[in-house]
Structure 1
Amino acid sequence: MKPFATRLLIVLTVILGVNYLAWRWLDSLNWSAWWIAVPLVLAETYSLIDVGLFGLAMWRIRERKAPPPPADATVDVFITTYDEPLDLVMTTALAAKDIRYPHSTWILDDGARPELADLAARHGLGYLTRSGDWADKPRHAKAGNLNNALMVTQGEFLLILDADQIPQPDILDNTLGYFNQRRVALVQTPQYFSNVPADDPLGSQAPLFYGPIQQGKDGWNAAFFCGSNALLRREALMQLGLAGYVTEVERGVHRALAGARSAIRKARRSPEAADPLVAGLLDEVEAATDAAREKLKAGGSLSEITYDLRTKVEGAVRTLVAGNFAALEADLAEIAAMELGSELGTPEPDQLDGAVERMSQRDWSPLGALGSVQAVLDAVSVERPDEAQPVMPLATISVTEDMATSMRLHSMGWESVYHHEVLAYGLAPEDLKTMLTQRLRWAQGTIQVMLRENPLAQRGLKLGQRLMYFSTMWSYLSGFAAVVYFAAPVIYLTLGILPVSSLSTDFFIRFIPFMVVNQLLFAVVGKGVSTWRGQQYSLALFPTWIKACTTAARNVWLGRPLGFAVTPKARQAEGNSWHLILPQLVAIALLLVALVVGAVRLATGLNEPVGTLVNVAWVIFDLLILSVLVKAVRYKGFTPDERNVDAVHR
């Protein structure tokens, strides 16, 4: 009965939502106040798309049975760390060592701490840090750490754990059996935090995501890697790395050929290009470049293409150098003759200076252009000298390696599994600053992936997979919609300007049923799990989401550095944190002022009673949303007696 009820609610939500939005666009816009009317209807359209994508995920929600017993396999357990406290890392490492299924445990220390290496050796644990090949090369944060470890270990499967995620002894027994299916490359389990009180003031637990949402994505074969508490098949990762290697080399050749053609065309504008010898050489190199581009399109050998073109360019450079050397000898001979004439007392006025000036102004751009072409081709190397290692199995295109990696695996035909059982217990942020740092990094990484490898245009993905990945990326655009949702009631209560033509019966009979059914859908798929805290933070953190979008866009489009901040695993120094939520405090102040001004305007007849009532309710809802941050600022950290033991179980 439940799948039927869920799908019925999804259909009703979409129908009622489309009915409401159609009316909003066609009949209700207050064009005299277009500056708020249009942003509001755009925000509502954004929200309906978000609801539709959520409904699509819930349409195929998948509750898996226990996997079969695992076959014999070799497993490497990777514990990634950078600067976390040693006792924390060792607690996780020793718990990993006690996992029942036979395995090897490795501490991947990106901080290269000798004291941690000593502790690992003392307890019989593997210890890895970056090799010297990474010096002065891009490190790619956690992805680089894992890629480095992949090249020096051999396990068929990898269990990846963050330094604070303490695994249960049966984590491999309960998950490794999924890999009996040959095409399964990833098994993701929930991330659950043991230091979160029942009221979860920082919104760290994610029962909706690590539950119905991931189960829904699983139904579309789109459950994705979340960075920790996940098992991956080495073969799939290495295949991914090799495919990426080939792609990067091909891109390098394309860029080199485009750069070569551009350099040659610029050289043609040089006065020296009028020389028949120079013009002929440029024609030869350009023809060779065009031929190389055609061979590349036809799938020719990259090494043969670049070798043939490099040989042609080297020959042209030698010929051009010889020609320029002959001209140089002639100029020097002219100068020597003029100097001899000067000794005999018969120099022509300014003749010597003119000859020297001609030499100094000789345009060497054709030779420079061919030299540039030669340098560009030399830079196209199968060794990828700009990277520490040519093959990078885990994606390095964002500050979070997980989503891009799993999306690429899915595009190559591999499958994923979401196993809905808590098998590791981690530590959540215990202060607002740390939480904001963590959420910003997550959002930045997701937006980077969307801008660099948008799943809607990703080759190899099925339609459902495209939409499941896009829905997660789309959700981080909510910050822009939230600004409009906070501004609209303030504008009406203080200025009397409605973004709709009127709050008529048409509005209520369309809007209220849509909202009621939408909340019913959340209640049904949530199975009684509270989703209110998640709804609060999805809107209350609007400055964080906006910053993530703008900084990620500047990074992708303009090359601005983004950086990578490791989430601290201990509570940060005590202090005043109110400045961290200044935009939200301004919003709260404006909403409170709007309530007072709206009451005054209602009493004086400047505002309509119905409009005032609707917008007062809207303001109260907005204040309830933002109130979570007041509690977050005042949160003093976790105490053991507050532990929320209601873990999510399969």
Structure 2
Amino acid sequence: MSRRLILIRILAVFVVLLGVNYIAWRWLESINWSAWWIAVPLVIAETYSLIDTLLFSTTMWRAKEREGPESEPEGTVDVFVTTYNEPIEMVMETARAAKRIAYPHETWILDDGDRVEMAAAARAEGIGYITRSADWQDKPRHAKAGNLNNALFETEGEFLLILDADQIPDPLILHRTLGYFADDAQVALVQTPQWFTNVNEADPLGSQAPLFYGPIQQGKDGWNAAFFCGSNAVLRRESLMQLGIVGYVRELEDSTQRSLRAAERLLGREARRQRSVPKLHAELRDLHQDVIQARAAISQAEPIAEVTYRLRAKIDAASSRLVDNDLATMADDLLAIHALPVQRDAELGSLVVDDVALDALATRELSPLGAVKSVAALLDALRVDRPEEAQPIQPLATISVTEDMATAMQLHGMGWRSVYHHEVLARGLAPEDLQTMLKQRLRWAQGTMQVFLRDNPLAKKGLSAGQRLMYFGTMWSYLSGFAALVYLAAPIIYLTLGVLPVTAWSVDFFARFIPYFLMNQLLFLVVARGIRTWRGQQYSLALFPVWIKACTSSFANVVFKKPLSFVVTRKDGRSAEGLPLREVWPQLTAIVLLIIAFVIGIIRVLVGAGDGTGTLVNTVWVGYDLAALSIIVQAVFYKGPAAYAEESKGVT
């Protein structure tokens, strides 16, 4: 164990102990219940932050720094360059670089836009070209996951290197990563960092993520939870195909069980309705038991096809017997109709059937054959070829608009391992304007929350305790938008209205809060080890509207089936001209309110209406919030790296 890791663990223990001491005191002794409407949200937000600190400390507890694989690279490789509507020359630049990778491989362009010009350019360079077949027409496309799943069945390499359309690979990328698969036959994924060449040192859009593509991924790697990030990664085909087959079987089993549960309810209801007819009641009761036994057999892993075949044979036999019964009933009804008393209506001069006798005939129970036929139709709907999908087997996860993390979690749940190799082996392009960046962050957050709501890692079978926490920690971070809203509102409320969320700004408060805060910052500095992380801290607060929208829209998608729009990140410059004020009005509003609150707070102190200590604490708080939100102002006026470079030359 390195000295640095020992220091990180010591600091982590102190941070957690000091944090628990502070939050326990906040809950037990310091809440101003007379102002509960802000006091309680604030302490909940602080509790959220403590849990976030605990998850971060846990992540770094087993941080792993790899030197590289021990084994030599081996195995056949397909290199996939994924594209939808990116400029053809950009895609071709990446594809040509992929073709120049030193290790023997096949290069393929996966064109989800099905462009004739793209196909011609690929052929001219001797590069493989794959697009979707007609089978995908009018079927769910599953965005990038569907594009990759389609290509998996068109290629044969043992390993896949996946690159986005703008990610130029290093010629040695396979030499530096393939050996991990030979080191450990259970390794399914090797992820390398994403690094952007069109980002300047100031990086006002916060595109570089050196803390994530570094300490955090290394921390997750220590728990065997480093996850797939969509590009610059090598995956084992065997693991993906196993994932696809297992998913297919589970989906088929789930749909079969759903159909059988419906059949069980239908037959049970019909059997109860026919209690007055012993023969029919017995027939339906027996069939009801057959369905129950079929469900139990499938739960015990008997082949679905065999179980449903036996059940269908019993249903057909029961249908035949019920038809015979219907024919006998019809014969009886005809005799009853023939025997109905008929009399002539004196006024109308027509024959009229006796009403009492007709009512008696009408109250007879209808045939239960319809219920049995409905059960037969449910079984007919069970198709092993999954006609609702373009292909029955979907190896990469399709439950989220971000297929990468969902796929990695499924692989980990099946016992496969992952590796994070901390070496920049591909260089790409980041968004160059605020609108594009916001859409990209929203999509990432929405996809993560979709996975959280559909496949919660805390309850997912197959994951270790550490893996559960690592995935949960990533999902938990996107709830920060709600906490940020409270952190922005609390000082504004105090400075303008004088409403105190704590009982007092006492020595007890400072004695607990300041050591916790300082130790937290020290842990962060040691983990970062020289990495510039202030931009990430700014955006964690400044993007609070994006995080809130991601949570609410993902909830609406999963629970209420409201669709999410999938937007491909532009890689060819700015998306629009003009200032994108509409996209950031919540942040700009917060900035204005914070400034107004600061001024009012100072005036209140000068006129003797405000508490000096409380005002000092909250003005410092306002200063931090404004410093964090100031990045949005910079991003609004950012003109892209080219303009920044020109301005820098002019200054020089």
TM bucket normalised to smaller: over 0.9
Structure 2 Cα separation of the partners of residues 411 and 205 of structure 1: 30
1:331/1:355 contact within 8 Å kept: no
Question: In the alignment, residue 264 of structure 2 is paired with which amino acid?
Answer: R
Structure 1 Cα separation of the partners of residues 147 and 275 of structure 2: 51
Question: In the alignment, residue 489 of structure 1 is paired with which amino acid?
Answer: P
Calculate percent identity across the aligned residue pairs.
60
Q: Does 1:179 align with 2:181?
A: yes
Q: Match of 1:449, SS?
A: helix
Match of 1:224 among 224, 227, 232: 227
Q: Does 1:245 align with 2:248?
A: yes
* Distance 1:60-1:279 versus aligned 2 partners, 3 A rule: same
Q: After the TM superposition, which of the residue ranges 557-566 and 83-92 deviates more from structure 2?
A: 557-566
Q: How big is the shift at 1:623? A: 1.1
1:158/1:231 contact within 8 Å kept: yes
Q: Which runs of 5+ in 1 are unaligned?
A: 644-650
Question: In the alignment, residue 468 of structure 1 is paired with which amino acid?
Answer: M
Q: How big is the shift at 1:68? A: 3.3
Residues 534-567 of structure 1, C-alpha deviations (whole Å, 9 max, x = no match): 0111111111111111111121122221232211
Structure 1 Cα separation of the partners of residues 353 and 535 of structure 2: 86
Q: How big is the shift at 1:341? A: 9.0
Q: How big is the shift at 1:372? A: 2.1
Q: How big is the shift at 1:30? A: 0.8
Aligned partner of 2:539 in structure 1 is: 537
Trace 1:449-598 onto structure 2 (pairs within 5 A): 449-570=451-572, 571-598=574-601
Residues 319-346 of structure 1, C-alpha deviations (whole Å, 9 max, x = no match): 3334334444555677789899989x99
* Distance 1:95-1:353 versus aligned 2 partners, 3 A rule: farther
2:326/2:367 contact within 8 Å kept: no
Q: Match of 1:147, SS?
A: helix
Aligned partner of 1:168 in structure 2 is: 170
2:343/2:353 contact within 8 Å kept: no
Structure 1 Cα separation of the partners of residues 120 and 154 of structure 2: 20
* Distance 1:342-1:160 versus aligned 2 partners, 3 A rule: farther
1:335/1:352 contact within 8 Å kept: no
* Distance 1:328-1:585 versus aligned 2 partners, 3 A rule: farther
Aligned partner of 1:440 in structure 2 is: 442
Aligned partner of 2:55 in structure 1 is: 53
Question: In the alignment, residue 289 of structure 1 is paired with which amino acid?
Answer: V
Aligned partner of 1:646 in structure 2 is: none
Give the TM-score normalised by the residue count of structure 2. 0.93
Residues 396-421 of structure 1, C-alpha deviations (whole Å, 9 max, x = no match): 11111111111111122211111111
Structure 2 Cα separation of the partners of residues 402 and 354 of structure 1: 71
Question: In the alignment, residue 187 of structure 1 is paired with which amino acid?
Answer: V
* Distance 1:485-1:91 versus aligned 2 partners, 3 A rule: same
Q: How big is the shift at 1:66? A: 2.4
Structure 1 Cα separation of the partners of residues 478 and 401 of structure 2: 15
Give the TM-score normalised by the residue count of structure 1. 0.94
Structure 1 Cα separation of the partners of residues 152 and 266 of structure 2: 40
Aligned partner of 2:303 in structure 1 is: 301
2:342/2:351 contact within 8 Å kept: no
Structure 1 Cα separation of the partners of residues 465 and 83 of structure 2: 36
Q: Match of 1:306, SS?
A: helix
* Distance 1:597-1:641 versus aligned 2 partners, 3 A rule: closer
2:63/2:218 contact within 8 Å kept: yes
Q: Does 1:618 align with 2:618?
A: no
Aligned partner of 2:641 in structure 1 is: 638
* Distance 1:329-1:131 versus aligned 2 partners, 3 A rule: farther
Aligned partner of 2:414 in structure 1 is: 412
1:186/1:231 contact within 8 Å kept: yes
* Distance 1:25-1:400 versus aligned 2 partners, 3 A rule: same
Aligned partner of 2:96 in structure 1 is: 94
Structure 1 Cα separation of the partners of residues 359 and 570 of structure 2: 66
2:74/2:179 contact within 8 Å kept: no
* Distance 1:368-1:85 versus aligned 2 partners, 3 A rule: farther
Structure 2 Cα separation of the partners of residues 296 and 624 of structure 1: 60
Q: How big is the shift at 1:105? A: 0.4
Q: How big is the shift at 1:220? A: 1.1
Question: In the alignment, residue 610 of structure 2 is paired with which amino acid?
Answer: N
* Distance 1:373-1:493 versus aligned 2 partners, 3 A rule: same
Q: Match of 1:89, SS?
A: helix
Q: Does 1:82 align with 2:84?
A: yes
Structure 2 Cα separation of the partners of residues 388 and 429 of structure 1: 32
Aligned partner of 1:284 in structure 2 is: 286
Structure 1 Cα separation of the partners of residues 153 and 384 of structure 2: 17
Aligned partner of 1:398 in structure 2 is: 400
* Distance 1:173-1:339 versus aligned 2 partners, 3 A rule: farther
Structure 1 Cα separation of the partners of residues 583 and 517 of structure 2: 32
Q: After the TM superposition, which of the residue ranges 202-211 and 455-464 deviates more from structure 2?
A: 455-464
1:581/1:629 contact within 8 Å kept: yes
Q: Match of 1:464, SS?
A: helix
Q: Does 1:234 align with 2:261?
A: no
Q: How big is the shift at 1:388? A: 1.6
Question: In the alignment, residue 600 of structure 1 is paired with which amino acid?
Answer: I
2:340/2:353 contact within 8 Å kept: no
Aligned partner of 1:115 in structure 2 is: 117
1:338/1:352 contact within 8 Å kept: no
Aligned partner of 2:265 in structure 1 is: 262
1:273/1:366 contact within 8 Å kept: no
* Distance 1:120-1:342 versus aligned 2 partners, 3 A rule: farther
* Distance 1:640-1:194 versus aligned 2 partners, 3 A rule: farther
* Distance 1:509-1:311 versus aligned 2 partners, 3 A rule: same
Q: How big is the shift at 1:523? A: 1.0
Q: Match of 1:79, SS?
A: strand
Trace 1:123-138 onto structure 2 (pairs within 5 A): 123-138=125-140
Q: Match of 1:397, SS?
A: coil
Q: How big is the shift at 1:579? A: 0.6
* Distance 1:273-1:384 versus aligned 2 partners, 3 A rule: farther
Q: Match of 1:173, SS?
A: helix
Q: After the TM superposition, which of the residue ranges 68-77 and 490-499 deviates more from structure 2?
A: 68-77
Trace 1:597-612 onto structure 2 (pairs within 5 A): 597-612=600-615
Residues 214-241 of structure 1, C-alpha deviations (whole Å, 9 max, x = no match): 0111111111000100000111111111
Structure 2 Cα separation of the partners of residues 279 and 450 of structure 1: 46
What is the alpha-carbon root mean square deviation over aligned residues? 2.4
Question: In the alignment, residue 228 of structure 1 is paired with which amino acid?
Answer: S
Q: Match of 2:352, SS?
A: coil
1:69/1:173 contact within 8 Å kept: no
